[in-house]
Amino acid sequence: MTNISEYKDFEVNSANLKHVRTFAREVFIRSEQLKSYQEELVLALAEAAQNIVKHAYNSEPTDDTMRIKINYTNDGLLTLELFDKGKAVVPENIKPRKIDDIKPGGLGTFFIGQIMDEVIFKTSKIDWVNHLILKKQF
């Protein structure tokens, strides 16, 4: 089992989402376990990053960065963390799409919930406003 702990900062804009995916793929490929589930994990992480661009910053231009941390321990626990300085998230307002609700939008949170085991929102992190934690136990 491979222990992994990596982080990288990205400017908050939609053009950087592909760089978020590249970073995630480069990290996930280092573990056979994560590699086998790579594209689903990339999707979950990229959806969370997209939510920062879309909702924390309303897709408006900014010089702010977001930080993405990937941690994988030898007990098989994957933790993805996203930090940003955008508008504070109100966790009660975030609801995954209902299964029979066919409309554009609202799918990102649904995907994250399908792929990951646990989603935790924090707002008290020093130096950041929002701190999202996604966990999956392999």
Partner 1 sequence: MTYKVTEENNIATVFLDGEIDMDVTDKAKEVIIPLIEAGKEVHINLKDVQYIDSSGISVLIESHQKGEEKNTRVVLKEISKSVLKVIMMAKLEQILTIE
Residues 6+ apart with CB under 8 A from 121: 89, 91, 94, 130, 131, 132, 133
CB of 129 to partner 1, least distance (A): 21
**Number of H helices and number of E strands within the chain?**
4, 5
Contact pick of 4, 43, 94, 129 for partner 1 (by CB under 8 A):
43
Cα separation, 138 vs 133, whole angstroms: 16
3-state secondary structure of 132: strand
Which CB, 91 or 96, lies closer to partner 1? Answer: 96
Contact pick of 8, 21, 30, 67 for partner 1 (by CB under 8 A):
21
Residues binding partner 1 (CB under 8 A) = 14-15, 17-18, 21, 39-40, 42-43, 46-47, 50, 53-54, 99, 102-105, 107-108, 110-111, 114
